[in-house]
Amino acid sequence: MNHLAKKHFSQASICYKQRNYSEAVDYYLVGLSIEPECVEAYADLAKSYEMLACWDQALQAIEQALRLRPSDPTSLRRKNRITEENSFYNIPYDAISSPLEDSRYFDLNVSPDISTLSDDLVQKISGILERTCNFVGYRLNFFPLDPVKVYIEEKHLAKSSYNDLDTFPDWAPAYYDGTIRIRCCNYSMSGLGVLQTLIRHEWTHLLVDLITDGKCPTWIDEGLAMSIARQMFSFEMEYLQTANRNGAILRLQQLNKPFSQIDDRQRRLAYYQAHAIFLDLIEQFGFSSICVLLGLIGSGEKPEDAIQQTFGKPTVQIFSDWQRKIDMG
């Protein structure tokens, strides 16, 4: 391989590991202009675009990798994943209406140092927030009394502290700490679907916190936030099944501590597992049972007693019943 191209590709992969995806894209593109037949570089370029929620470019790059090497397993796997994400996250721009007046539920603050954010995009973000408050609010039958502060900030690379980003394309890491903070690395219309999913997730945390007075067990909080935010993707289910075959499924105690304290390598698994167990609960007992559960915890019932009352079994059994299903699947 051309020496200069190789240098660009290795620089690209350093940027990717630092979660600096825009710069990674730039390096891949320069490298590919020198060495246009490099399958791996196209496949990695696709992954960088995926993290930036640039769906069209991600698909183009992975197609190019497959044109060069049609049965490349990594490229095929990546193509399936990106295709699935694209069909969920790529929401039509026109489908989001801009609210006409200030919301009762949130107070949006956009950091002035984000120069790339057009008024039009801010309007769309308000629109997404408004419809998310309604969507999650009606599901959980709860609306905050006072407007919640939502901050849209610049993503600073150095601050790669814990957040919910592990389960989403890295377009917009977010977290909830009484207020909702979203940090983006690429503000663009193509990322609005990811933003909507993130806001649903964080808004669920907010409502769960208010309903249960902060007493909700972590796995329920995260599982519910994941279930309300989006479907579970098939590649995530496959990841879980592989983990199960390898005996890597996390135990209840591990999912009961804050996910921020879970080892980096296991955090993704923790989210998938909480999501899957929760979907299973919803399928068996209906979504209304979840509202009953949160209400019981909110009224002062001990979480474990509330779980027993709602589902007729303790958490350990919920876990083992679910794992038995995974074993068979």
Q: Provide CB contacts within 8 A for 262, sequence distance 6+.
A: 250, 254, 270
d(CA 329, CA 241) in angstroms, rounded, equals 8
Nearer to Zn ion, 303 or 314 (CB): 303
Cross-strand pairs, 184: 154
The interface region with Zn ion, picked from 12-20, 123-131, 222-230, 313-321 by CB under 5 A, is 222-230
d(CA 109, CA 107) in angstroms, rounded, equals 7
Q: Provide CB contacts within 8 A for 105, sequence distance 6+.
A: 129, 130, 133, 137, 143, 144, 147, 148
Residues in the chain: 329
Nearer to Zn ion, 72 or 164 (CB): 164
Residue 225 contacts Zn ion per CB under 5 A: yes
SS3 38: coil
Q: Which of residues 133-172 bind Zn ion (CB under 5 A)?
A: 164
The interface region with Zn ion, picked from 21-29, 84-92, 224-232, 287-295 by CB under 5 A, is 224-232
Residue 196's CB is within 10 A of a number of other CB atoms, namely: 23
d(CA 70, CA 39) in angstroms, rounded, equals 10
Which residue of this chain has its Cβ atom nearest to Zn ion in the complex?
164
In Å, how far are 43, 65, 274, 278, 311 from 281, measured between CA atoms? Answer: 37, 40, 11, 5, 8
Nearer to Zn ion, 9 or 219 (CB): 219
Beta carbon of residue 247, minimum distance to Zn ion (angstroms, whole number): 26
How many residues belong to the site for Zn ion (CB under 5 A)?
3
d(CA 126, CA 100) in angstroms, rounded, equals 10
Nearer to Zn ion, 125 or 225 (CB): 225
Beta carbon of residue 27, minimum distance to Zn ion (angstroms, whole number): 32
Beta carbon of residue 289, minimum distance to Zn ion (angstroms, whole number): 21
Beta carbon of residue 271, minimum distance to Zn ion (angstroms, whole number): 8
Nearer to Zn ion, 222 or 236 (CB): 222
The interface region with Zn ion, picked from 36-44, 146-154, 225-233, 276-284 by CB under 5 A, is 225-233
Beta carbon of residue 264, minimum distance to Zn ion (angstroms, whole number): 16
Nearer to Zn ion, 66 or 199 (CB): 199
The site string for Zn ion over 169-188 (x = CB under 5 A, - otherwise) reads --------------------
Beta carbon of residue 228, minimum distance to Zn ion (angstroms, whole number): 11
Please name the amino acid found at residue 168.
F
Residues near Zn ion, by CB under 5 A: 164, 222, 225
